[in-house]
Amino acid sequence: MSDAAAREILIEGARALAHIDGLDAGLQRLLDVLAEQFEVASAVVFTVDGHPDRLEIAASVGLDERTGAGLVAAVANPDHPIARTVASPVATFDVLPTAPGGPALRSHLPLIVRREQADVVVGVLALAHDRPIEPVVRPLVLAGADLAAIAIERLRS
C-alpha cells in the first residue's frame, strides 16, 4: 500500500469524524475510503446495539439489499465469524468464508473503545477480499477499524 493511500485513509477518516453529521453518513464515508484503498469486494460495519447478539449494519459497500439482509440473519448465529468477533474481540485476517460464493477471503476486526477503564466492543468491520492482506498493511487496516470505533462512539451520542 502506498503512502498516498495511507494519507487518503487518514484524511478522509478525520473528515468523516469531524465534519459529517450522523453515524450512518460518517461511517459510510469512512467505509467508502477503506474499501477503495484496500481494494475489497465488499465491506460492512456492524454496530452492537446494546446487546452483543444484536448486530445491525450501519454502513456497507458492495452489498445489495438482499445480501445485506441475509448477512444480518447469518450473524444472529453465535458461531458466525462476525458474531464471534464480538464475543472474542480479536482481529482475524484472510479467513476462508463459511458460505460458498463471493470473494475468497474474509477479515473481521472488532471495533473497540475504552469506557470507564474497560474495553467495549461497539461493532465489527468485516471485509471480503480476493487477495490476502499483507502483514505490513494490517496496522493500517486496524487504524481504519479504530477510526470506525471512534466514529460509532462519537456519532452515536
Share of the chain above pLDDT 70, in %: 95
Least confident of 5-9, 38-42, 45-49: 5-9
- DSSP for 76-145 reads TSTTSHHHHHHHS---EEEEPPSSSSS-SEEEEEEEEEEETTEEEEEEEEEEEESS---TTTHHHHHHHH
Q: What is the pLDDT averaged over residues 132-142? A: 91
5-14, 32-41, 123-132, 135-144: segment of lowest average pLDDT: 5-14
Whole-angstrom distance between the N-terminal and C-terminal Cα of the chain?
34
**Which residue, 101, 100, 93, is CA-closest to 136?**
93
| Average pLDDT over all residues of the chain | 88
What's the order of all strands across the beta sheet hosting 55-61?
55-61, 42-48, 118-129, 105-115, 92-95
Q: How far apart are CA 58 and CA 5, in angstroms?
A: 24
Average pLDDT over residues 60-71: 91
Q: Is the pLDDT of residue 19 over 80?
A: no
pLDDT tens digit sequence for 94-126: 999 887 778 889 999 999 999 889 999 999 999
Tell me: pLDDT of 22 over 90.
no
Q: Are 100 and 129 in contact (CB under 8 A)?
A: no
- Pick 56 or 12 by higher pLDDT: 56
CA count, 13 A, side-chain hemisphere, 75:
28
Give the Cβ contact number of residue 98 at 10 Å: 12
Contact 140, 115 (CB under 8 A): no
